[in-house]
Amino acid sequence: MSPAINFELRRRTFIAGTAVAAVTVGMSRKAAAQTAAPVGAESTTVFLTVNGEGRELTVDNRTTLLDALREHLQLTGTKKGCDHGQCGACTCTVNGTRVNSCLSLAVMHDGDEVETIEGIGAPDAMDPMQTAFVENDGFQCGYCTPGQIQSARAVLDEIRAGIPSHVTDDLTAEITITDAEIRERMSGNICRCGAYANILAAITQVAEDQA
Amino acid sequence: MRQFSYEKASDPGAAAARAAEVQGAKFIAGGTNLLDLMKLEIETPVHLIDVNGLGLDTISETEDGGLRIGTLVTNTVLSADARIRRDYPVLTRAIAAGASGQLRNKATTGGNLLQRTRCPYFYDTAMPCNKRAPGTGCGALTEGAFSRQLGVIGTSEACIATHPSDMAVAMRVLDAVIETVTPTGMTRQIPLEEFHQLPGDTPDQETALLPGELITHVTLPAPVGGRQSYHKVRDRASYAFALVSVALIRQADGTGRIALGGVAPKPWRRTEADAELPNGARAVIARLLDGATPTEENAFKITLAERTLAAMLKEA
């Protein structure tokens, strides 16, 4: 795994800091009208197993799993796209199931096992899905790729587990891996470069190799 | 996002009592809709009660041959359950038509029923919205507003938002019943028909739940058989909310049940419209959407509902 990059002042951090200050000013009026207030600690200590390694973290309760991974554990392979569960760039697995890490709170994952793109392979020991994405040009800019790969691996598992999709013809028969099944199941991962055809080819290659 | 305190609940009754006691508290289960809304400060809970540890995550068989679904069963698990696929296929079809794989893995049964509308005026905090900020007006009913996605029936002058769930539409044709626990520890059964409220003058009041009341289960009556189907019409082939959706159960003799999604503030069903099924799509929709008050932009939904049903009836 590459070491985390720790610039003294990153441009995005600086802009984010400025935005927070602006929001705080705007909020003071609203906050005055709000009578209810938190009734306990506003931060919590959680224990996560991330890529097989135990990590203890104390986070503001508002911290999403995505921000915990990126900002607290410096695992920046998992990307923040829309931050609202619409793009899938933040997809990682929790206890083996793919989720949008942007729509989950770190405090809700105490004791959970999280796997990120860093945990599934490295440049010198790639996961078969990573290799297939490279071989099939399954990306251009690469920003959505960690989420695509995490989703792609889970999609094949979900088909093998018999979980039906919107395009599954017979709900009681074994599900066959078709282009339509893969496309439908990958619809929660958006690729702004439009590498969909090659992503489909990469996933199909892995599915055939594993068959 | 506003600051909030957080606790994990370990008992449903105690969780309900706590939610009623703490002003500004909310339950969190999957969180896929709540966190989205908290980031936008449309929802501003000051205390979150995490109900994921309550163990209400199994599906069991009831004495009268139905299924009792724990509120924490995820959409994926519910849609994939062999009993659901075999005996209630309309429910599997509806769930699989909604959201994305990642979201269905996280979203829960109770949470799906409680999700908020995706009306763009509810989401845009710079716009008036009687649901989000009671008394500010309805942005969707202002001159030149975009109302293509919004409701055509059951709406009011205060709100024309739709309920976005697919799952709930299937549960409505299956006559599902919601089980809850109240803050005083009583359990209660609410037919899904009575669960979602029409907006009237108070579009912020969306369900029959009392403050603090917690959904624990959703029960499906014994299977009713028939050919079951769910057809969702949307602007793209996957991962979009319905313009119109139709849940249909059709028996061999031509009778059946129908509910619509995407047209109303709740899954839309009328038993008198069910009775028209032997008479074809036009008769059904005329009865089902009688009294509709569409906008110029969404009047197409009435024709679309009729044609969708006609296509489904032809398939059988």
User: How do the domains of chain B map onto residue ranges?
Assistant: 227-315
- Per-residue pLDDT for B13 more than 90? yes
Contact A188 B7 (CB under 8 A): no
Residue B316's pLDDT band (cuts 50, 70, 90): low
Cα-based distances in Å from B92 to B85, B89, B268: 6, 5, 19
With respect to residue A32, please indicate whether it lies within any of the assigned structural domains: no
With respect to residue A77, please indicate whether it lies within any of the assigned structural domains: yes
Same domain, A97 and A154: no
What's the complex ipTM? 0.97
Same domain, A62 and A114: yes
Q: How many Å apart are CA B260 and CA B172, to the nearest integer?
A: 9
| CATH class (in words) of the domain with range B227-315 | alpha beta
pLDDT tens-place string over residues A13-38: 444 444 444 444 444 444 444 579 99
pLDDT of residue A20: 45
With respect to residue A89, please indicate whether it lies within any of the assigned structural domains: yes
What pTM value is reported for the model?
Answer: 0.93
pLDDT of residue A60: 98
Domain end point (choices A92, A119, A146): A119
Spans of chain A below 50 pLDDT: 1-3, 5, 7, 9-33
B39 contacts on A by Cβ (under 8 Å): 83-84
B89 contacts on A by Cβ (under 8 Å): 171
Q: Determine the distance in angstroms separating the CA of A136 from the nearest CA of chain B, rounded to an integer.
A: 24
Q: Which residues pair with B164 in a beta bridge?
A: none
Domain end point (choices A96, A119, A142): A119
Same domain, A141 and A88: no
Same domain, A113 and A138: no
Q: Look up residue A63 and give its amino acid.
A: T
Mean pLDDT for B101-125 is 98
Q: Determine the distance in angstroms separating the CA of B7 from the nearest CA of chain A, rounded to an integer.
A: 9
Locate the DSSP E strands across B107-209: 177-181, 187-191
Q: Is B10 on the interface with A (CB under 8 A)?
A: no
The tokens describing B179, both together, are: 């089980």
Mean pLDDT for B253-270 is 98
- List all residues of chain B from 267 to 286 with a beta carbon under 8 Å from chain A: none
Domain count, chain A: 2
Do residues B5 and A42 lie in contact, with contact meaning Cβ atoms separated by under 8 Å? yes
With respect to residue A196, please indicate whether it lies within any of the assigned structural domains: yes
CA-nearest residue to B4 within chain A is A38
pLDDT tens-place string over residues B200-250: 999 999 999 999 999 999 999 999 999 999 999 999 999 999 999 999 999
- What CATH number does the domain containing A98 carry? 3.10.20.30
* DSSP assignment string, B40-71: TTSS--SEEEE-GGG----EEE-TTS-EEEET
Q: Look up residue B123 and give its amino acid.
A: Y
pLDDT of residue A211: 86
pLDDT of residue A188: 98
Query: Collapsing DSSP states into helix, strand and coil, what is residue B106?
Result: helix
Q: Which domain holds residue A170?
A: 128-209
- What CATH number does the domain containing A167 carry? 1.10.150.120
B30 DSSP 8-state letter? S
Nearest to B96 by CA among A8, A163, A154, A92: A163
Mean pLDDT for B26-46 is 98
CA-nearest residue to B104 within chain A is A99
pLDDT of residue A6: 52
Contact A166 B238 (CB under 8 A): yes
pLDDT of residue B93: 98
Full 3-state SS string of A68-113: HHHHHCCCCCCCCCCCCCCCCCCEEEECCEEEEHHHCEHHHHCCCE
Q: Is A40 on the interface with B (CB under 8 A)?
A: yes
Q: Look up residue A14 and give its amino acid.
A: F
pLDDT of residue A28: 42
- What percent of chain B lies above the pLDDT cut of 70? 100
With respect to residue A3, please indicate whether it lies within any of the assigned structural domains: no
The tokens describing B105, both together, are: 């893995």
Say how many C-beta atoms besides its own lie within 10 A of residue B11's C-beta: 14
pLDDT of residue A14: 45
Q: Is A9 on the interface with B (CB under 8 A)?
A: no
Q: Determine the distance in angstroms separating the CA of A37 from the nearest CA of chain B, rounded to an integer.
A: 6
Cα-based distances in Å from B167 to A160, B99, B170, B234: 24, 11, 5, 16
Same domain, A109 and A148: no
Domain end point (choices A119, A146, A161): A119
- Residue carrying the six token digits 């994952």: A109
Contact A36 B46 (CB under 8 A): yes
With respect to residue A13, please indicate whether it lies within any of the assigned structural domains: no
Buried b (16+ CB within 10 A) or exposed e, B219-242: bbeebbebebbbbbbbeeebbbbb
Average pLDDT of every residue of chain B: 98
Residue B118 exposed, middle or buried by CB count within 10 Å (0-12, 13-18, 19+): middle
